[in-house]
Amino acid sequence: MGEHRLPHDHGQSIERELEHMPSVDQFQIAADLFKQLGDGSRIRIFWLLCHCEECVINLSSMVEMSSPAVSHHLKQLKAARLIVSRREGKEVYYRAAGTPQAQLLHRMIEELVEIACPSA
């Protein structure tokens, strides 16, 4: 970012830190992930997929939502690269991605909601 001088000197020497500040695009990655937290049903679906691999019909039954509504949430989670899918015949199965971001989000959800994994 180069040397940056602020208009007012408050004695904090933040200018050195500005050299290491991530770009707007890097912060946007975090913002896009946090958008996924904006819907309780989507968080619930993601949490389930951290513990199992399921099809839309079963997920719909588990969360008591319509298949189109669940499909909408799955599309958003997949676009955020928090879940992955695989096709087996006519059926598509979903599960949480094995990425550090998905694992961190899973842990965050459990810490915030104060719940434990079924295996714990």
pTM of the model as a whole: 0.77
Report how far residue 108's alpha carbon sits from residue 115's, in angstroms, rounded to the nearest whole number: 10
State the amino acid at position 105 in one-letter form.
L
Percentage with pLDDT > 70 across the chain: 87
Checking 4-8 for CB contacts under 8 A at 24+ apart, the result is none
- Per-residue model confidence as pLDDT tens digits over 47-106: 999 999 999 999 999 999 999 999 999 999 999 899 999 999 999 999 999 999 899 989
Q: What pLDDT, on the 0 to 100 scale, is given for residue 75?
A: 96
> What residues does 83 pair with on adjacent strands?
96
Q: Is the pLDDT of residue 109 over 80?
A: yes
> Domain ranges in the chain?
15-113
Q: Which of 4-8, 28-32, 41-45, 59-63 has the lowest mean pLDDT?
A: 4-8
Of residues 24 and 59, the one with the higher pLDDT is 59
Q: What is the largest distance, in Å, between two alpha-carbon atoms of the chain?
A: 65
Q: Residue 68 CB: number of other CB atoms within 10 A?
A: 9
- Fold of the domain built from segment(s) 15-113: Arc Repressor Mutant, subunit A (1.10.10)
Mean pLDDT of 104-111: 89
Indicate the average pLDDT of the chain.
87
Model confidence band, residue 18 (pLDDT cutoffs 50, 70, 90): confident
HSE-CB for 97 with a 13 A CA cutoff: 15
